Amino acid sequence: MSTYSTRFGPLSIAEKDIWHCIAPMPGFTELHQFALLHLPSQGPFVWLQSLDDPLITFLLIAPEHFNLRYSQTPHFAKSEKEGITMVMVILPQTENGKLQSNALAPLYFLPDKMQFGQWIVEHQEIVSEPLLTSHLPPAALGAQTVVPLQELSSSDTQVKQPLSTGTA
């Protein structure tokens, strides 16, 4: 187990919990090792924390939360049933802004291999079913649950921290 600097402070992360990027994200090709972090107060959102650069994190969620579905799979997946698709969340830059997703560049996670990559899609299907209502990220991702110190102190008073709107 090694200790890494993260946006949530130093965290101990086991080698078995490190995700390896096999299809680099444009603009971040030098980043290869990541951890998935879940804050209980942030429901289904997970943070993709770079272990190569502690200042780089991406907020992710299952595409169904944005009524998105992908019928295709990336070139690095051997089977459409082996992985989990997640989309990056674009945080609002104004107080009344809405959360958006990077729908045309989802991430595809291969839990059995602890690998993931970003892929570009030509289109996504927008479905008319209600939004996904799960309050947890996909269990197969095995995101490490993190409780930052400020949440520990606020849980004593039952106050939930809102989703941070800083840069991801």
- Tell me the per-residue pLDDT of 26-84, one tens digit each, with 9 for 90 and over: 899 999 999 999 988 888 999 999 999 999 999 999 998 888 888 888 888 876 567 99
pLDDT given at position 152? 42
Say if residues 102 and 61 touch (Cβ distance below 8 Å).
no
12 membership: H or E segment, kind and range: strand 11-13
Q: What is the pTM of this model?
A: 0.80
Q: Distance (Å, rounded) from C-alpha 130 to C-alpha 163?
A: 22
- Domain spans of the chain? 2-155
Are 108 and 84 in contact by the 8 Å Cβ rule? The answer is: yes
Q: Which CATH architecture has domain 2-155?
A: Roll (2.30)
Per-chain mean pLDDT for the chain:
81
Residues 151 and 41: their CA atoms lie apart, in Å, by: 8
